[in-house]
Amino acid sequence: MTEIRKTLILGSGPAGYTAAIYAARANLEPVLLSGDQPGGQLTITNDVENYPGFPDGVMGPEMMDAFRKQAARFGTEIHDVMGTSVDFSSRPFTVTTSDDQVFKTETLIISTGATAIYLGLENETKLQGRGVSACATCDGFFFKNKDVYVVGGGDTACEEATFLTKYANKVTMVVRRNEMRASKIMRERALNNSKIEVLWEHNVTDVLDVSAGKVTGLELTHSKTGVKQTVEAQGLFLAVGHKPNTKLFEGVLDMDDVGYLTTVPGKTAMNIPGVFAAGDCQDSIYRQAVTAAGTGCMAAIEAERFLEDQHS
């Protein structure tokens, strides 16, 4: 007989680990399935400068390692596997993993995060890992003295572009409008960097070239006039936002058009009692490590109260 767990947590970013810390301290003996990127998106970021408590900043992977240790310290059972399906049709819920384990759980906390979006160009996919990347921290090192392009005008784009100047000869940001969405501090840091140039009102419409087996250039198109130009480039970094990792729950759990899970306002509870959502998979507005951790805490407290009500 499969043991029935009180709480199972999907995901291991700030939301998942915080939920685990709170659930473990409330004696819910949580099981946490970390997914295929233990630690989540922060493991592929650089310095985290805005998480309270770290006045000198902290490296993303180091911070997530500390979150994990803290979750484990209170007895969280951590499995470095993916949750591949959830059966919500009967209670307890059944969760199956990528290594064919089956867990039964009374409550489920979903904190599956979000993943970088690509532009959807055919050659972009073909040249992934051959000059196309969505992670400057992971791949920047390979672009020493090269000319690279970063698409996007958000905080991520500014951060990635600034980081890439450590290695690249020149970094060009391709921004589709005539202004950037990024916060003032990030934008100014990028705009004041002499190695960064901004190409306003342009889109990347093709990646060249597949026959060379690596990125050699880009086709850029003016957003308004449609005028095209080809430029030489050795790297293309995507920083055009993220998509929530919620495919597993389509048709079962409430979500918006983009796929962000829709919780009861002001809570983490989902449309199925006993299911809670925390972090970037349900947050299209703030998407910060600290807000993810906050909602992870909320989810654990709500799960604890739900279980109390069930068993009282």
**Active site residue ranges:** 135, 138-139
Answer whether 75's CB lies under 8 Å from 29's CB.
Answer: yes
Residue 240 lies near ligand NDP (rule: CB under 6 A):
yes
Instruction: Write down the least CB distance from residue 175 to ligand NDP, Å.
Output: 6
Our finding on whether 177 is near ligand NDP (CB under 6 A) is yes
Does position 35 bind ligand NDP by CB under 6 A?
Answer: no
Contact between 155 and ligand NDP per CB under 6 A: yes
Q: Count interface residues toward ligand NDP (CB under 6 A).
A: 20
Q: Can you say how many angstroms the Cα of residue 58 is from the centroid of all Cα atoms in its chain? A: 18
2 binding ligand NDP? (CB under 6 A): no
The piece of 53-61, 81-89, 100-108, 177-185 that touches ligand NDP (CB under 6 A) is: 177-185
Query: What burial class does residue 114 get, using C-beta atoms within 10 Å of its C-beta: 0-12 exposed, 13-18 middle, 19+ buried?
Result: buried
Instruction: Give the position of tokens 């992670």.
Output: 135
What's the closest the beta carbon of residue 179 comes to ligand NDP, in angstroms?
Answer: 8
Q: Which helix (H) or strand (E) holds 109?
A: strand 102-110
Choices 72-80, 138-146, 234-242, 300-308; region in contact with ligand NDP by CB under 6 A: 234-242
User: Which listed range, 60-68, 77-85, 121-129, 151-159, lies at the site for ligand NDP (CB under 6 A)?
Assistant: 151-159
Binding of residue 159 to ligand NDP (CB under 6 A): yes
Neighbour count for residue 205 (Cβ, 10 Å): 13
Note whether 241 binds ligand NDP by CB under 6 A. yes
- The CA–CA distances, whole Å, from 93 to 26, 28, 88, 106 equal 21, 16, 5, 6
Q: Look at the block and give the residue holding tokens 């095209």.
A: 228
- Complex with ligand NDP: residue 166 or 305, whichever CB lies closer: 166
Nearer to ligand NDP, 169 or 205 (CB): 205
Closest C-alpha to 173, from 190, 194, 188: 190
Nearest by Cα to 238 from 123, 79, 108: 123
How many Cβ atoms sit within 10 Å of the Cβ of residue 16? 37
Asked if 279 is part of the footprint of ligand NDP (rule: CB under 6 A), the reply reads no
Q: Does 15 help bind ligand NDP (rule: CB under 6 A)?
A: no
Residue among 2, 4, 27, 50 that touches ligand NDP (CB under 6 A): 50
Residue with smallest beta-carbon separation from ligand NDP: 154
Q: Does 259 bind ligand NDP (CB under 6 A)?
A: no
Backbone phi and psi for residue 182, each to the nearest 5 degrees, phi listed first: -60, 155
**Is residue 287 within the footprint of ligand NDP (CB under 6 A)?**
yes
**149 bridge partner residues:** 172, 236
**By C-beta, is 14 or 92 nearer to ligand NDP?**
14
* Shortest spacing between CB 112 and ligand NDP, in angstroms: 17
Taking CB under 6 A as the rule, does residue 154 contact ligand NDP?
yes
| CA angle (9 as vertex; 12, 95 as ends), nearest 5 | 120
Element (H, E) at 186: helix 184-191
Q: Which of 176, 214, 243, 267 binds ligand NDP (CB under 6 A)?
A: 176
The string of DSSP letters for 29-48 reads --EEE--SSTTGGGGG--EE
Element (H, E) at 308: helix 289-311
Q: Which residues bind ligand NDP (CB under 6 A)?
A: 50, 119, 151-157, 159, 176-177, 181, 183, 203, 239-242, 287
